[in-house]
Structure 1
Amino acid sequence: MPFLKDIKYSLHVAMHPFDGFWDLKYENKGKLRMALGILLALTLTMIVKRQYVGYVVNYNHPLELNSINELKYIIFPFLLWCLANWSLTTLMDGEGKFAEIVITTGYALLPLILINIPNILLSNVITLREASFYHLLDALATLWFVWLLFIGTMTVHQYTVLKTITTMLLTLAVVGIIIFLGLLFFNLIQQIVSFVYTVYQELSLRG
């Protein structure tokens, strides 16, 4: 089955990133549908994690969580990273296409699912003294993800190690700039709408 084959390949990428991302780049083994599927699965996993992780390590108030609102913490940064990386690497002789960047980033997210699901179960049976194991696994998931993203970025753009590190740091800077400009734009729009509404009210009262 194609779906099982895609899952098997995504696990291969997670365990053997150099070979996996090379095949993704030059053998077209990576699938956009699988990358987006991993993104969706991670979103659902993080929603479950925020709501059902054990009370020993759960610093959220479940009744105050909004599942739809949680999407912005996963999907929005994912899209921003891909857009910023593509925009930046286009100017830095990167060989990766936008679709390849999306696929690479999506596949790199897999460790966050592989570790977080058993970690959620673990969090419900550990004591306060054992909470360090939960946080350790959390940190390992993040490091694994960053490692895969690093290898994927280096392979898909055919960069050196130093240029890959520089590019990833600059991508974070570009993400920050995009967020700043976006907030500035929406603030400007809000002020314009408020001004127009105020003028309308003044004209209505005088009329």
Structure 2
Amino acid sequence: MLYGKSLKYLFHVIFHPFDGFWDLKFEKRGSLGAAITIVILTIITLSIEKQGTGFLYNMNRLSELNIVVDIFTIVLVYVLWCTANWCTTSLMEGKGRMIDILIAVGYSMAPIVLIRLPLVAVSHFITSNEGSFYMVFKTVSVMWALLLLFLGTMITHQYTVKKTIVTCIITVVGMGIIMFIGLLFFNVIGRMITFVATIYKELRFR
């Protein structure tokens, strides 16, 4: 499917998730390129939000913002969820391939872009009395994205609601385990490098 049409298909997915996610997988109405584009747009949106939100609603210190950290965090969460979900569903008779998961999760992020990016501009024109509406829309964007993630998981793997809930819980636990193993691995590698460097210095200066 053409990239432009697959990207535009996000509007169908967010408003008709049952048909949308089904067509993403079985009718190939989406694409990995479009999903990654949505992830990139999410990163851009959250970065703009931190830096460009009106001062009444911006609790961030601009001097402490680091776009590299924002990029790394979102990409890490995206990759961890997809990896942990694939590992979990492979053991629980899930029907989705890794590429299906990557696409479904990417499209699930669309509400964050579509709602929170316009909110950045709106935040400069609303008063503190109207702040409750601002916060409601921010919350809706996250809840909508999480709902899409849940439905995308259920439809991609052809699970029941109960099995999807269990799968999501195990996926979150799996993300934690992968992070722990990763940190442990890099810690061991760091110690090995330090040990080798120490031995090298000892042999060199003797």
Which category of TM-score, normalised to the shorter sequence, fits these structures? Answer: over 0.9
Deviates more, 1:193-202 or 1:99-108: 193-202
Structure 1 residue matching 2:9: 3-state secondary structure: helix
The AA in structure 1 aligned to 2:157 is H
> Which residue is 1:62 aligned to?
62
| 1:107-146 superposed Cα distances (whole Å, 9 cap, x missing partner) | 1110000111111112222333332222211110011001
Amino acid paired to 1:43: I
Q: Which residue of 2 aligns with 1:109?
A: 109
**What is the DSSP-based 3-state SS (H/G/I as helix, E as strand, rest coil) of the residue aligned with 1:58?**
coil
Q: Does residue 161 of structure 2 align to residue 161 of structure 1? A: yes
3-state DSSP class of the match of 1:74? helix
In the TM superposition, residue 4 of structure 1 has moved relative to its aligned partner by 4.2
Q: Which amino acid aligns with 2:119?
A: N
Letter in 1 for 2:182: G
The answer to whether residue 168 in structure 2 is matched with residue 190 in structure 1 is no
Looking at structure 2, the residues matched to 40 and 191 of structure 1 have their Cα atoms a distance apart, in angstroms, of 35
The CA RMSD measured in Å over matched residues stands at 1.6
- Partner letter of residue 44 of structure 2? L
Residue 69 of structure 1: CA displacement? 2.4
Q: Tell me, yes or no, if the aligned pair for 2:7 and 2:30 is still in contact at 8 Å.
A: no
- Using the size of structure 2 for normalisation, the TM-score is 0.94
Residue 30 (structure 1) shift:
1.6
CA distance in 1 between counterparts of 2:146 and 2:136 reads: 15
Question: Higher mean Cα deviation, 82-91 or 62-71?
Answer: 62-71
Contact 2:35 2:107 (C-alpha < 8 Å) held by counterparts: yes
Give the structure 1 partner of residue 126 of structure 2.
126
1:90 aligns with 2:93: no
Query: Could you tell me which amino acid in structure 1 is paired with residue 83 of structure 2?
Result: L
3-state SS of the aligned residue for 1:159?
Answer: coil
Cα offset, 1:53, TM superposition: 1.2
Number of positions where the alignment pairs a residue of Structure 1 with one of Structure 2: 206
Give the AA of the match of 2:34: M
State how far apart, in whole Å, the 1-side matches of 2:187 and 2:7 are: 43
Amino acid paired to 2:198: T
Moved more, 56-65 or 168-177: 56-65
Match of 1:137 in 2: 137
Q: Partner letter of residue 55 of structure 1?
A: F
